[in-house]
Amino acid sequence: METNPQTWLLLLFSLPAKNASQRVDVWRRLKRYGAISLRGSGYLLPKTQLNEERFQWIATEIRKHKGEGSVLEVLRVNNLHSADLIREFNDARMEEYEPLANELQKLLQSGSRSWGLVSRLRRRYQEIASRDFFHAPLGQRVEQLLFKLDSPESGLRSKVAARGKEYSGKSWVTRPRPGIDRVSSAWLIRRFIDPKAIFLFAKDEEAFADAIPFDMFTGNGFSHRGDDCTFETLMKEFGLRDKKVSRMAQAVHDADLADEKFGRAEALGIDQVLIGWANQGIRDDQILQRGMELIEGLYQAL
């Protein structure tokens, strides 16, 4: 008897022979979702709320096209144990990761830094990782290669030592109507630099002479530097090495500067929400507090 078996979702369906285009569409969606074929017996995914919704929507679409579609919850498929099925999922992901790993390795060896290419490769990794349900070993290798592209050797990280003690219990001032960079920077300050930080808003930083400016147009304090947004500046100035913070810095950069440098879309929706709240006339401090909660949620999700 298998202990703690994985629960699976099994999609069984049939479509009229004349619906060739619909069949191709279903196959593409199943491939994008990471489902594996059970040799004519249907398609399998591990049970999660998202996977169940995806299978149910596919089954609904199939029935709209005069086909038959059913979603079953199963613990065992024929004589295959969970470990056997997990191995099949990991093998499928390894086949996708391998050419990506090879491309990244060649890029590192060449010493070139084509950010357009790096962005495309990172998007490919994110797409594969979204269906890597059981953490195929090569996925970690690909992540490490991407991380090396942002290593000190590539000039993308600051070597400035952390100076947290100098900035404990301070007031920090930024511009009104905070957007993605300012909200994310405030989150970074309070979570990693100054847990007791007090945030103030002013068009002119001189309104609060004792406060530390961030993301002000004057460039004083902590702001955009070169190609970096304020979040990136803070991360480098204080020597933060948290991998999830590094990913968030890339996402905030792409949302704030809209240059698609890193190919990350995680913060784009949050940016639009912040704009919507500002248009509603919500107070600056409320936008900041709500936005920081969204950023914390993103951090936990990465």
Query: Is domain 8-74 in CATH 3.30.1780.10, yes or no?
Result: no
Distance CA 238, CA 55 (A): 45
49: number of Cβ within 10 Å: 7
Supply 149's token pair: 């592209």
- What is residue 60's predicted lDDT score, i.e. its pLDDT? 93
- What is residue 136's predicted lDDT score, i.e. its pLDDT? 94
Could you list the pLDDT tens digit for every one of the 302 residues in the chain? 555 678 999 999 998 888 888 889 999 999 999 999 987 679 999 999 999 999 999 999 999 888 999 999 998 887 788 899 999 999 999 999 999 999 999 988 887 666 667 778 888 998 999 899 999 999 999 988 887 776 544 433 333 334 556 788 899 999 999 999 999 999 999 998 998 999 999 998 889 989 999 999 887 899 999 889 999 999 988 888 888 899 999 999 999 999 888 889 999 999 999 999 999 999 999 999 999 999 999 998 88
Residue type, 34: G
Nearest to 160 by CA among 234, 218, 249: 234
Nearest to 242 by CA among 193, 293, 292, 197: 193
Residue found under tokens 């992540």 = 143
- What is residue 151's predicted lDDT score, i.e. its pLDDT? 56
User: For residue 13, what is the enclosing H or E element?
Assistant: strand 8-14
Query: 3-class DSSP state for residue 36?
Result: strand
Residue found under tokens 């996708």 = 96
Q: Where are the domains positioned within the chain?
A: 8-74, 82-154, 164-301
Whether the CA torsion 271, 272, 277, 280 is positive or negative: it is positive
Q: Is-contact 150 246, C-beta < 8 A?
A: yes
Determine the distance from the C-alpha atom of residue 27 to the mean position of all C-alpha atoms in its chain, rounded to a whole number: 26
- What is residue 155's predicted lDDT score, i.e. its pLDDT? 39
Whether the CA torsion 22, 27, 28, 34 is positive or negative: it is positive
pTM score: 0.58
